[in-house]
């Protein structure tokens, strides 16, 4: 890939950039072919080099400040990757997390992202993001880390996500939470203790109890 990128540069008679491009491509490869502008700058890639690579077609802009080497295969889940890169401290939640865990028939039209109440609301033009501010206790509980397209994505566990959906039932609809619980029972390794633990964290134990008993 480094040779391809450098040959491409040479063909454009930009020989002075060869070493800088080679260095930049190597760093991008170390990041799975995807990098944020801030990460690139911190690792010695000059902004002009980054933009030149973009203008020459070596890099593809996925979202503002997020770039991908054009030579690597298409991303399997670009929306989650972009959001994880743009807001690394956030956590994929609610319907987006249900969809990832395959315990919903809902199709999320935006990425649901949990952020601490002390965090500024993220401004992301694409993909559409619905940020939900969680209290410290509910935010920190049940976080899993999954590698998606060479990117570490923070997603709530199925059990925590179900509890969150009951907590936000007035916004999502109780049917979404009940369906998730049913599909979780059918498709996952049932962990009743975890469901109860997160129900307590989210203060929905009394709400969830009859549905949980009916499911079991």
| pLDDT tens digits for range 65-83 | 888 888 888 888 999 999 9
Read off the pLDDT band of 183 (50, 70, 90): very high
Please determine, for residue 4, whether its predicted confidence score (pLDDT) is greater than 80.
Answer: no
Domain boundaries, the chain: 2-69, 78-215
- Please state, rounded to an integer, the average pLDDT across all residues of the chain: 87
Other beta carbons within 10 angstroms of residue 45's beta carbon come to 22
Please determine, for residue 211, whether its predicted confidence score (pLDDT) is greater than 70.
Answer: yes
Read off the pLDDT band of 18 (50, 70, 90): low
Please determine, for residue 94, whether its predicted confidence score (pLDDT) is greater than 90.
Answer: yes
116: tokens are 């601490």
Distance (Å, whole) CA 211 – CA 188: 17
Distance (Å, whole) CA 120 – CA 138: 17
Name, in order, each residue with C-beta under 8 angstroms of 68's C-beta and a sequence gap of 6 or more: 33, 34, 59, 60, 62, 75
Other beta carbons within 10 angstroms of residue 52's beta carbon come to 19
Fold assignment, 78-215: Beta Polymerase; domain 2 (3.30.460)
Read off the pLDDT band of 1 (50, 70, 90): very low
The strands making up 66-69's β-sheet, listed across from edge to edge, are 34-36, 66-69, 59-63
Q: What is the DSSP letter of 110?
A: S
Please determine, for residue 17, whether its predicted confidence score (pLDDT) is greater than 80.
Answer: no
Per DSSP, the three-state class of 146 is strand
Q: If you average pLDDT over residues 154-164, what whole number do you get?
A: 98
- Of these ranges, 3-7, 26-30, 71-75, 157-161, the one predicted with the greatest mean pLDDT is 157-161
Q: What is the DSSP letter of 135?
A: P
């Amino acid at each position: 890939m480094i040779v391809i990128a450098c040959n491409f540069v040479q063909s454009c008679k930009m020989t002075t950039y060869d070493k800088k491009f080679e260095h930049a491509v190597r760093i991008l490869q170390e990041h799975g072919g995807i990098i944020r502008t801030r990460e690139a700058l911190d690792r010695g890639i000059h902004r002009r080099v980054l933009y030149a690579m973009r203008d020459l077609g070596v890099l593809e802009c996925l979202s503002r400040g997020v770039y991908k080497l054009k030579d690597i295969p298409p991303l399997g889940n670009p929306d989650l990757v972009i959001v994880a890169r743009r807001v690394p401290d956030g956590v994929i939640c609610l319907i987006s997390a249900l969809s990832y865990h395959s315990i919903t028939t809902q199709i999320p039209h935006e990425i649901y992202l949990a952020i601490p109440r002390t965090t500024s609301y993220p401004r992301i033009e694409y993909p559409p993001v619905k940020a939900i501010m969680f209290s410290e206790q509910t935010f920190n509980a049940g976080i899993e880390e999954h590698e998606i397209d060479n990117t570490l994505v923070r997603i709530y566990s199925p059990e925590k996500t179900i509890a969150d959906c009951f907590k936000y039932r007035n916004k999502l609809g109780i049917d979404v939470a009940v369906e998730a619980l049913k599909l979780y029972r059918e498709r996952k390794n049932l962990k009743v203790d975890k469901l109860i633990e997160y129900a307590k964290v989210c203060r929905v134990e009394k709400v969830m109890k009859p549905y949980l008993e009916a499911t079991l």
